[in-house]
Amino acid sequence: MAAGGVMVDDVDIAENEEAKLTTSVVIICIIAASAGLMFGYDIGVSGGVTTMEPFLKEFFPSVLAKMADTKQDMYCVFDSQILTAFTSSLYIAGLVSSIVAGRVATIVGRRGILIMSGVIFLIGTALNALAVHVAMLILGRILLGFGIGFGNQAAPLYVTEMAPPKWRGTLSTAFQFYLCSGVVLATFINFAVAPLGDYGWRVALGCAAIPAIIMTIGALSIPDTPCSLIQRGRYNEARQSLSQVRGVDSDTEVELNNLISSANAASTADHEPYKKLFQRRYRPHLVLALAIPSFQQLTGVNVVAFYAPVLFRSMGSGGQMALLGAVILGAVNLGSALVSTCIVDRIGRRFLFLEGGLQLILSEVAIACIFAGQLGPFSASTAIVVLVLMCSISAAFGWSWGPLTWLVPSEILPMDIRPVGQGIGIAFNFIVTFVLAQVSLALFCHLKYGMFLLYAALTLLMTVFVAFFVPETKGVPLESMDAVWRKHWYWRRFISEV
C-alpha cells in the first residue's frame, strides 16, 4: 500500500453494496453531467476565435499588426493583456458564482442551480455573438462565467449524490467526458466556420447556445438529489427520488434513513456550513477540496487547451492548420476521458493521479527540449512531434486530473458541508485559472520553453502530494467516508480527536 493510500476493503461498505445501476440513474446522471458541455465548449471556442483574423481585426487590431510583423518573436505574437482579458474575464465571474452557488444550492437544490446555470449561460452567449464592442464581448464572457460557475458546482455534486457507490467514479467521469466533448465540438465548429470570413467568429460564439439548451432542457426533466431534498426537509420527495434512481422494486429505506440520520446529526451540530468547514475536524476535507481543483490548473494543460491554436500558429502553421491541431488535441482528450470512465472504478483514483502526473512531466520536459533547440520556424516534422507530445499531455490529463478533480472533492466532503466545500474548491480553481490565463502568454513570451519546465516542476510537486496525502476512495459509500480518514497515516490525527 502506498504511503497515502487506504485499503478500501477495510471500510465497511456492505450496507450499500446492493445499490443497483439502473437505466434511470444512468440517464439522470448523464443529463446532469451535460453541464460540462458548456464549460468545454467555452474552453475550445475561446482559443479558436482568437486566431481568426476577422475577430482580431474587429476587437484586437494590435495583435493582428504583430502577426504581420515578420520580425516579431514567435513567442510574443499573441502577448496582449486585452486579448487575455477576453478569455480570462469569465473566470472571475466563475469564482464569484461558484461561492454563491454553495449557498444558493441549499435553498433551491442541485437541480435548481443547474437550470439557473443554463439560463445565464444563454444570455451571455447572445451578448458574445452579437458583440459590437470589446466591453460587450467581455460582459458576455462574465455572464458565461456565472453560468459555468453554477454548473461546475452543481453537476459533480448531483452525480456523486445520485450514483451508487460502486459506480460513482464511472458516472462522475461523465462530467469530464462532456467537457471534452464540448472542446471537440467547439474546435470542429471553429475549423468549419473560419472560412466564412467576417461572421465566422460570431457563428462560433453563438453556437455555445447548443450545449446550454441541451443541459437546461434536460435539467427540467430530472429530480433533485435525495441529499438535497432531505436538507430542505422534503422527505417524501427524497424517498421518491431515491426510488426512481435505485428502482421501484428496491428497498431504499435503509439508505434513506442513513441519509436522514446524517443530515439530522449535521444540523444539530452546527447550522453554519461555512463556519463548520474551517473546524479542525474538517481540515483534511478542506485541504483536499481546495488543493485538488487548484492543482488541476497547474498541470499546464489548460494553457495547451486555451492556446493550442495560438501555439501552432506561433510555430509557423497557418490559421486552418492551427485549428486542425486543436481538433486533434480535443479528440485525444475525449478518448482519454472514455478510458477513465472504463477504469476509474477498477483501478482507483490514486493510480490514475500518479500515472497521469508522471506522463505529464515527461511530455512537458520533452516539449521544452524541442523548443530550446529551435531557432526559427518549426519544420513540418518538428511540428508533428510537438503535436504528438501535446496529445500525450492531453491524454494524461484526460484520464487523471481532468475527471478526478470533479470526482474526488465531491466524494470526500460530508453532506452538510458538501455544497459550500465544493463551491469554494471550484472558486479556487477559477482563481488559479484566471491568473494563469492572464499571465500565460506573457510567460510564453518571456520564459519561452522554460514555461513547460515550470509546469513540469509544479506537476512533480503535485504528484508527490497525491502520493502522500490523497487517500483511495474507490467504492466507499459517502456516509462511510470517515473510515477512510481514520485509517490514513496523516489525516487520522484530525479525525480521531473528535
Q: Where are the alpha helices (DSSP H) in 273-375?
A: 273-277, 283-297, 301-314, 319-347, 349-372
Q: Which amino acid is located at 108 in the chain?
A: V
* pLDDT band, residue 187 (cuts 50/70/90): confident
In this structure, are residues 9 and 168 in contact, taking their beta carbons and an 8 Å threshold?
no
* Angle between helix 450-469 and helix 283-297 axes, rounded to 10 deg: 160
In this structure, are residues 182 and 36 in contact, taking their beta carbons and an 8 Å threshold?
yes
Mean pLDDT of the chain: 84
Q: 117-131, 210-224, 249-263, 287-301: which has the minimum mean pLDDT?
A: 249-263
* pLDDT band, residue 489 (cuts 50/70/90): very high
Q: Rounded CA gap, 356 and 217, in Å?
A: 35
Q: Over pLDDT 70: what percentage of the chain?
A: 85
- CA separation, residue 440 to residues 59, 86, 168, 254, 437 (Å): 20, 14, 35, 51, 5
Supply 151's cell numbers: 454548473
pTM reported for the whole predicted model: 0.82
How wide is the angle at C-alpha 235 spanned by C-alphas 232 and 240, nearest 5°?
120
Q: Is 496 exposed, middle or buried (0-12, 13-18, 19+ CB in 10 A)?
A: exposed
* pLDDT band, residue 1 (cuts 50/70/90): very low
Model confidence at 354: pLDDT above 90: yes
Supply 356's cell numbers: 497521469
pLDDT of residue 17: 47
pLDDT of residue 319: 57
Q: Rounded CA gap, 476 and 487, in Å?
A: 13
Mean pLDDT over 393-410 rounds to 93
Comparing 176 with 458, which gets the higher pLDDT? 458
Q: Which of 303, 305, 299, 296 is nearest to 459 (CA)?
A: 299
Q: 25-29, 94-98, 216-220, 318-322: which has the minimum mean pLDDT?
A: 318-322
Q: What is the CA radius of gyration of the chain?
A: 22
Q: Over pLDDT 90: what percentage of the chain?
A: 40
User: Using one digit for the tens of pLDDT, what is the confidence trace for 21-50?
Assistant: 888 899 999 999 999 999 999 988 887 787
Place domain 8-495 in its CATH homologous superfamily.
MFS general substrate transporter like domains (1.20.1250.20)
In this structure, are residues 390 and 308 in contact, taking their beta carbons and an 8 Å threshold?
yes
